[in-house]
Chain A
Amino acid sequence: MATETSEVKEKLTYKDFAPDLDVKWCPGCGDYSILKQVQTIFPDLGIDKEDFVFISGIGCSSRFPYYMDTYGIHSIHGRATAIASGLKAVRPDLSVWVVTGDGDALSIGGNHFIHLLRKNFDLNVLLFNNQIYGLTKGQYSPTSEAGKITKSTPYGSVEQPFNPAELALGANGTFVARTLDRDPKHMKTILTKANEHKGTSFVEIYQNCPVFNEGAFFVYSEKETKKIETLYLEHGKPLVFGDSDDKGIRFDGFEPVIVDLKNDNVSLNDLWIHDEKDKIKANILAGFADYKKDNQHMPRPFGILFSSERPTYENVMAEQIEAITKKKGKPSLNKILSGDKTWEIA
């Protein structure tokens, strides 16, 4: 419940969000970084501490609520999104954060995940994608690359992975973003934007699992490869990447084409300008890195792929209740119990 605005608020710090207990992720786990960034941005979001609620499912990521000194539920596998929906439906005043993983959200909880995006409750979903099942000790996940060798696939997995951003866009998500554990600054920006967005904000966070999938995303974070493998998106800015920002993406019909800004006789004005409200381009961006035509090796986009507002479930629901109550007036309980047709027995 929001405190009175007249009340002078003490300035919170990240320590106010860190409960007095040991964090028990493996040493080197990417989750530590995510926890730190969340705790760091929370004091500045303008939300009272008691109004934050974390809901998680099952998996390494889902221990997150225990490490946030807020309200929270560590629930059951895949269902955090469904529990959060019910909570937000009745308590629009709360700032609800779902923490989930690639197995939790996309495998066992896949159905709730897509329907949450479709319904568009105003809450934030942080999907820690490490492309592996960590808590059950190393089976392939729905985001593991095809052919992945794990304990349950000793000869390689035989299935194709989900691309979470494509899935989220396909489910009519209104905010789709990607960031990674080893870029704290970027993550803080994206998390802040996710909080600002009215609607379900979906943030995929590439997260290193040092025990079962070490280095899955190092090409995007280590300095030898980072510049050429990543494409940082900014609204209204051209798509530029490369060691010295020397490469760009041009839109050729409906195909992205890499151009060399030094040699190809193109200027920044010829490049694809990122527009986060353009759903068609967002779809192309989401599938970008898997684009293999003409042997082009595309960088992987990070940032806000898509952000566009539409009415949230809880608001439409509340408006409907208000409109009908205004029109019909609230009936008394006695009237409801009697209904329209009664008779007397003497």
Chain B
Amino acid sequence: MKTEESIIEKESVVVRFSGDSGDGMQLTGMQFTDTAAFLGKDLSTFPEFPAEIRAPAGTISGVSGFQVHFGSKEIFTAGDEYDVLIAMNAAALKNDLKNLKKGGIIITNSTGFDAKNLRLAEYPEGENPVEDDSLSDYTLYNINITGLTKDALKKSGLSNKELERSKNMFVLGLLYWIFDQSPDYTINFIKEKFSGKPEIANANILAIKAGWNYGETTEIFNTRFKISTSKLPPGTYRSITGNNATALALIAASEKSGLPLFLGSYPITPASDILHELSRYKDCGVKTFQAEDEIAAICSAIGASYGGSLSVTTTSGPGMSLKSEAMGLAVMLELPLVIVNVQRGGPSTGLPTKTEQSDLLQAMYGRHGECPMPVIAPESPSDCFEVVYEACKIAQEHMTPVIVLSDGYIANGAEPWRFPTEDKLKPINVVFTDKPNSENDVFLPYKRNKDYVRPRVLPGTKGLEHRIGGLEKENETGDISYEAKNHELMVKLRAAKIDKISEFIPKLEFDSGNENSKLLVIGWGSTYGSIKTGIDELIDQGIDIAHLHLRYLNPFPENLEELIRKFDKVLIPEINNGQLIKIIRDRFLIPAIGFNKIQGLPFTSTEIKNKILEILNINLNGN
């Protein structure tokens, strides 16, 4: 009989699964995450994988990682450092050891540390970290995971290769035991996924149980962790990634507006999952059009919008550049359109699988001519739902293309989501004009309402036949006009229409702190979690910091200036070389301070915290 292991209660834990791209770490991480969520924990994830589908096995460039931060408190980031690192091979350990907490747990697969793997990971000849004492600052469990998995499955009749592939399930089973989480969720998942291949399903389930039993029966592990259920607001939850939330928002907006959904898209990382997800919803009448290129993707969406659909195009930075001419057309035509840019590291192909916030200036100004467009950005995976839904509402109600700036971090990251029910969604009001709108039964396609919005007419409406186009139009009639004063008027009217939207968006409120706080931090988009966590920790230590997080980047909320003017010091952290800061400085002429990280990675909350302390000249260590 085994001696009773101690159970440590923890508020939150960060686990990093790390292995070769072929080791199934993304699936393992997602299963662990879904189980934690299902068992009522709050969490945030950070999948990180190479741009190559199968980078050379065993090398550092082939390492695929999945980080999950889960706990009973509110979780806003995937965590700066991890408590537990699973390293399936030497390269994984080498790549990811740097962010493991001192005293943290390392679980390694000993077969991943043979001479070949050590060489590929570029450890010096004769050095093996799992055998020497170089990891003495940590608790190391070096287990022959491959061997134990094969032993457990030897009667399964599967090939050696298939057996080896199940090793990630052994790891998952062991982790479930360590964190006292039931493996049932994953077992059900496997049964469903391999319903047509019972032998594979059984092998994987056996591997999970073998992992669990290994923890239970061996004397190696003397510590288990218990994380109690989180104090999230009561309600019904599901797990959601940013890209899936985007897809659901589009379906919801289509239902609520009564307009059929059309997506014109061209595959591009990290936005393709939106296309994949929406393509599944044929039963909702969703039309997805995989176009021949990015330009055709947006142009088909413009055509569909003209035809009366709720029209969307999804892409990432390079695709955004290709679409920019057509965006100019959409602005000129004044048709509704939602353009989702899941940002990645750029320019050019850049860092296709890594995150960045570097397309803000492009979204604001990156078009020919005077071409203003609303720009809004989600702050978390589930917030993609709110923001994309809002983008659809603005586009339809104000007859304008709208840009949504998501990014790779929140697009692929997952979190629990207290999803709304249909009746809680704001209405989207769509009005199609079917009668002349001026005297003598004349229809004027560019005669605007008080919010500068022009009427929308469906082709097929009797008696209102008219042409629209990219050439400058005469005010109200929409006829071609090259008249000097008219062009200036039209440029200003198009801008006024966008500015007017600020009257329809909520006033900005402090996320933390208030107008008397020592410093104002302004963030936008996916940096929310890191900023929020960093500031919360400072507030706990008695340092009062204010945080405003901008969802609406164009137009800004009406009260932004009033709030900014209350502070002497404004810090703007961004995952780029300083873009929002340029807009804020330009608009309000204030000496805002930038804090920039351009490493394809999100901020850690510690980085935010330290920057704030540096600005405020505070030394927390007192020396």
Q: Of all chain B residues, which has the CB nearest A119? A: B292
Q: Does A237 belong to the interface (CB within 8 Å)?
A: no
Q: Does B262 belong to the interface (CB within 8 Å)?
A: yes
Q: Of all chain B residues, which has the CB nearest A115? A: B292
Q: Does A324 belong to the interface (CB within 8 Å)?
A: yes
* Per-residue B-contact encoding for A84-98, CB less than 8 Å = 1, 0 else: 111111110110000
Interface window among B230-238, B395-403, B503-511: B230-238
Bound-state Cα–Cα, A330 to B287, Å: 14
Q: Which of B24-63 contact A (CB under 8 A)?
A: 34, 37-40
Which residues of A have CB within 8 Å of B238? 338-339, 341-343
Q: Which of A75, A87, A324 contacts B329 (CB 8 A)?
A: A75
A174 to chain B, nearest CB (A): 18
B282 & A86 in contact (Cβ 8 Å cutoff): no
* Per-residue A-contact encoding for B465-497, CB less than 8 Å = 1, 0 else: 111111100000001100000000000000000
Which residues of B have CB within 8 Å of A89? 262, 287, 289, 300, 303-304
19 A-B Cβ contacts within 8 A?
A: A1-B458, A65-B469, A71-B465, A73-B333, A74-B467, A75-B470, A82-B291, A82-B292, A82-B295, A85-B296, A87-B303, A87-B307, A89-B287, A89-B303, A90-B262, A90-B287, A329-B283, A337-B252, A345-B234
* Per-residue B-contact encoding for A312-337, CB less than 8 Å = 1, 0 else: 00000100110011001111111011
Bound-state Cα–Cα, A83 to B329, Å: 11
A83 & B300 in contact (Cβ 8 Å cutoff): yes
Q: Of all chain B residues, which has the CB nearest A336? A: B251
Which residues of B have CB within 8 Å of A333? 251-252, 255-256, 422
Q: Which of A26-71 contact B (CB under 8 A)?
A: 48-51, 53-55, 58, 65-66, 68-71
A99 to chain B, nearest CB (A): 12
Q: Of all chain A residues, which has the CB nearest B469? A: A74
Q: Of all chain B residues, which has the CB nearest A314? A: B287
Which residues of A have CB within 8 Å of B264? 86
Count A interface residues, CB 8 Å: 60
Bound-state Cα–Cα, A94 to B38, Å: 49
Bound-state Cα–Cα, A84 to B300, Å: 7
Bound-state Cα–Cα, A74 to B329, Å: 10
B384 to chain A, nearest CB (A): 13
Q: Does B326 belong to the interface (CB within 8 Å)?
A: yes
A48 & B34 in contact (Cβ 8 Å cutoff): no
Q: Does B421 belong to the interface (CB within 8 Å)?
A: yes
Bound-state Cα–Cα, A65 to B469, Å: 9
B444 to chain A, nearest CB (A): 15
B326 & A76 in contact (Cβ 8 Å cutoff): yes
Q: Of all chain B residues, which has the CB nearest A340? A: B238
B300 & A331 in contact (Cβ 8 Å cutoff): no
* Per-residue A-contact encoding for B301-316, CB less than 8 Å = 1, 0 else: 1111111110100000
Bound-state Cα–Cα, A333 to B285, Å: 13
Q: Does A281 belong to the interface (CB within 8 Å)?
A: no
Which residues of A have CB within 8 Å of B333? 73
Count B interface residues, CB 8 Å: 73
Q: Does B99 belong to the interface (CB within 8 Å)?
A: no
Which residues of B have CB within 8 Å of A338? 236, 238, 419
Q: Does B260 belong to the interface (CB within 8 Å)?
A: yes
Q: Of all chain A residues, which has the CB nearest B247? A: A336
Q: Apart from A82-B296, A341-B185, list 10 A-B contacts with CB within 8 A.
A: A1-B461, A58-B470, A75-B299, A75-B302, A79-B326, A86-B262, A337-B248, A344-B234, A345-B230, A345-B237
Which residues of A have CB within 8 Å of B282? 320-321, 324-325
Q: Does B284 belong to the interface (CB within 8 Å)?
A: yes
Which of A50, A115, A325, A337 counts the most B-chain CB atoms under 10 A from its CB? A337
B236 & A344 in contact (Cβ 8 Å cutoff): yes
Bound-state Cα–Cα, A88 to B309, Å: 11
Q: Of all chain A residues, which has the CB nearest B40? A: A345
Q: Does B239 belong to the interface (CB within 8 Å)?
A: yes
Q: Which of B284, B309, B480 contacts A336 (CB 8 A)?
A: B284
Bound-state Cα–Cα, A342 to B416, Å: 10
Q: Which of B185, B230, B284, B470 contacts A331 (CB 8 A)?
A: B284
Which of B293, B296, B304, B464 counts the most A-chain CB atoms under 10 A from its CB? B296
* Per-residue B-contact encoding for A137-178, CB less than 8 Å = 1, 0 else: 000000000000000000000000000000000000000000
Bound-state Cα–Cα, A94 to B63, Å: 52
A111 & B293 in contact (Cβ 8 Å cutoff): yes
Q: Does A346 belong to the interface (CB within 8 Å)?
A: yes
B460 & A337 in contact (Cβ 8 Å cutoff): no
Which residues of B have CB within 8 Å of A70? 465
Which residues of B have CB within 8 Å of A73? 303, 306, 333, 467-469
Q: Of all chain B residues, which has the CB nearest A65? A: B467
B99 to chain A, nearest CB (A): 30
B584 to chain A, nearest CB (A): 33
Bound-state Cα–Cα, A72 to B303, Å: 11
Which residues of A have CB within 8 Å of B289? 85-86, 89
B287 & A93 in contact (Cβ 8 Å cutoff): no
B295 & A50 in contact (Cβ 8 Å cutoff): no
B467 & A79 in contact (Cβ 8 Å cutoff): no
Which of B239, B464, B465, B468 counts the most A-chain CB atoms under 10 A from its CB? B465
A76 & B307 in contact (Cβ 8 Å cutoff): no
Q: Which of B590-617 contact A (CB under 8 A)?
A: none
Q: Which of B233-283 contact A (CB under 8 A)?
A: 233-239, 248, 251-252, 255-256, 260, 262, 264, 281-283
A86 & B307 in contact (Cβ 8 Å cutoff): yes
Q: Does B463 belong to the interface (CB within 8 Å)?
A: yes
- A83-B459 contact given A317-B287, A345-B233, CB 8 Å threshold: no
Q: Does A235 belong to the interface (CB within 8 Å)?
A: no
Q: Does B325 belong to the interface (CB within 8 Å)?
A: yes
A90 & B236 in contact (Cβ 8 Å cutoff): no
Q: Does A112 belong to the interface (CB within 8 Å)?
A: yes
Q: Does B420 belong to the interface (CB within 8 Å)?
A: yes
A87 & B462 in contact (Cβ 8 Å cutoff): no
Bound-state Cα–Cα, A158 to B230, Å: 72
Q: Of all chain B residues, which has the CB nearest A21? A: B479
B234 & A337 in contact (Cβ 8 Å cutoff): no
Bound-state Cα–Cα, A92 to B232, Å: 48
Q: Does B229 belong to the interface (CB within 8 Å)?
A: yes
Q: Of all chain B residues, which has the CB nearest A54? A: B467
Which residues of B have CB within 8 Å of A320? 282
Q: Does A3 belong to the interface (CB within 8 Å)?
A: yes
Which residues of A have CB within 8 Å of B256? 333
Q: Considering the complex of A and B, which 4 residue pairs feature the smallest CB-CB distances, nearest first?
A: A74-B469, A86-B303, A86-B300, A82-B299
A269 to chain B, nearest CB (A): 45
B296 & A112 in contact (Cβ 8 Å cutoff): yes
B303 & A55 in contact (Cβ 8 Å cutoff): yes
Q: Of all chain B residues, which has the CB nearest A24? A: B480
* Per-residue B-contact encoding for A170-203, CB less than 8 Å = 1, 0 else: 0000000000000000000000000000000000
B465 & A49 in contact (Cβ 8 Å cutoff): yes
Q: Of all chain A residues, which has the CB nearest B239? A: A341
Which residues of B have CB within 8 Å of A337? 248, 252, 419-422
A88 to chain B, nearest CB (A): 8
* Per-residue A-contact encoding for B64-94, CB less than 8 Å = 1, 0 else: 0000000000000000000000000000000
Which residues of A have CB within 8 Å of B420? 337
Q: Of all chain A residues, which has the CB nearest B262? A: A90
A343 & B237 in contact (Cβ 8 Å cutoff): yes
B237 & A342 in contact (Cβ 8 Å cutoff): yes
